[in-house]
A and B are shown apart, each in its own frame.
Chain A
């Protein structure tokens, strides 16, 4: 999607290893979000950021950490990957203005933990 890039697009990793997913935006949006998508659960918020070095937990944050050292980059780290973290991960950005809460999503990262 224009203005937002996720990397890698696919990754297979072993249980217990750390994994970092990257989200990069060129829109200079203040808000960035990490969601995971699983069948029957829709999209669930993991962590979000409302500015550089300002982050907070979402509803499924256990086992995940995030960092945002620059406006354009939001990193999601699985500290010790487990099979339950096999999922498709989406990053989203928003300018957060009162007139527009719309998100722009990246194309996703499909993560498989074996």
Chain B
């Protein structure tokens, strides 16, 4: 019930295309859903986050879509660029559990020029 399942494991997208990464969770107590971006040799960095009271959040080319009833959320990267090539992690946490983040398995995104 604590797991967050992420797919796909790897993704190749052409420059200008849309990258879509999906995550699913079981624990209905989760109330915070962030996405992290990690470049090689670096630590993950917070990209965008959403709470379950909204169904979508957009920041620039990055959008989170959230489906509470299906217990799924996804990251959409519009107009994908080679500089977006990185590993992306979804995560979830609950205030009732001390805010500990549970991470998905990660998606390695490669954007081809």
Contact = CB atoms under 8 A, between A and B. Distances in A.
A103 B101 contact: yes
A105 B34 contact: no
Contacts of A104: 46
Given A42-B6, A43-B103, A90 B95 contact: no
Contacts of B9: 40
A41 B105 contact: yes
Contacts of B61: none
B35 to A, nearest CB: 11
Interface range for B: 20 to 34
A101 B99 contact: yes
A105 B44 contact: yes
A90 B91 CA distance: 15
Most chain A beta-carbon neighbours within 10 Å: one of B32, B41, B44 = B44
Most chain A beta-carbon neighbours within 10 Å: one of B32, B34, B36, B100 = B100
A102 interface: yes
A50 B42 CA distance: 25
Contacts of B42: 1, 107-108
A92 to B, nearest CB: 8
Given A42-B104, A101-B32, A108 B43 contact: yes
Interface string A23-52: 000000001010100001111110010100
22 contacts: A1-B43, A1-B45, A31-B98, A35-B103, A40-B105, A41-B105, A42-B6, A42-B103, A48-B100, A56-B98, A92-B43, A94-B99, A98-B95, A101-B34, A101-B101, A102-B46, A103-B101, A104-B46, A105-B43, A108-B41, A108-B42, A108-B43
Interface of A: 1, 31, 33, 35, 40-45, 48, 50, 56, 58-59, 90, 92, 94, 96, 98, 101-108
